[in-house]
Every structure is written in structure tokens, then in C-alpha cells.
Amino acid sequence: MTWQPHITVATIVEHEGKFLFVEEFKAGLHVFNQPAGHLEPNETLPQAALRETLEETAWEVELTGVVGIYLYTAPSNGVTYQRICFAARPVCHHADLALDSDIVRAVWLTRDELLADPARWRSELVPRCLEDYLKGPLHSLTLLRD
């Protein structure tokens, strides 16, 4: 069997001191995550981040930078993920769009609201990416090459 990491993207969207999260139902729990998902064939990393954010939150966003690149092995299944985390600003909410079927809702939370309940984090990457975004620096989108 060949080991292969899963390439994923995530987006931190900030507006007026709150951050856009998705609430998902995973392993019998309602958990919070950044809008995130897998890179699809023939898609760039920025395209994947914009698509996943729209599909999971109904928010169209503009990417403003790269927060970081993370390697994470999930303790629940041993799968390794490489996450490219972007920063973005909200542009337009499309309230009429249906969210992905595994998303309970999109919700705006403050940092303190997220940190208050670690049992509701999808993984340790959720607060880590947020903290890295807050402490900076953001990296230029030109860091990424097609």
C-alpha cells in the first residue's frame, strides 16, 4: 500500500472581530471547523479555497494571504492531511445557496467563543490556524505556483 497525504485547504474569514466557521456533525458530535475541504482534480489551491468556502458557508470571499501550511495526522484514523490555510475577507453572502450536506450551519464566532469549548473543535488545527492568523505574518498569495 502506498502512503499518500490528503491535500486540503481551509479559509479563515474575519469580519468585525468574528470569524466564519462551519458546524459539522462528525463522529456523533457537532464540531467547529474553518470552511475546508479537499483539493479536486484540475483545481488550484486558491480555487479550492474559494469553492469550499462558498459551498460550506454560502459566502463569496476574497483571499488576502496564506496563513500557513500544516501537516496533520488524524489520531482517529491515521490519515495524514496537508492543509494550506488561507486568510480572506467576506465579499457577498448568498443566502439562497444550500450548504453542503454535511454542514449543519455556518456561524460567526469570536476567538474567545471558539477557544471556550475545545471539545467542539474538529481538530487541533482549528485553533492553531486561527492563532497563527492572529499573530501573523500573512504570506503573499504569490507564494503559490500553478
97-108 pLDDT per residue, tens: 999 988 999 999
Beta bridge partners of 6: 81
Q: Tell me the mean pLDDT in the region 7-25.
A: 97
CA distance 23 to 106: 6
Which cell is 105 given? 450551519
pLDDT tens digits along 33-79 = 999 999 999 999 999 999 999 999 999 999 999 999 999 998 888 88
Percent of the chain with pLDDT over 70: 99
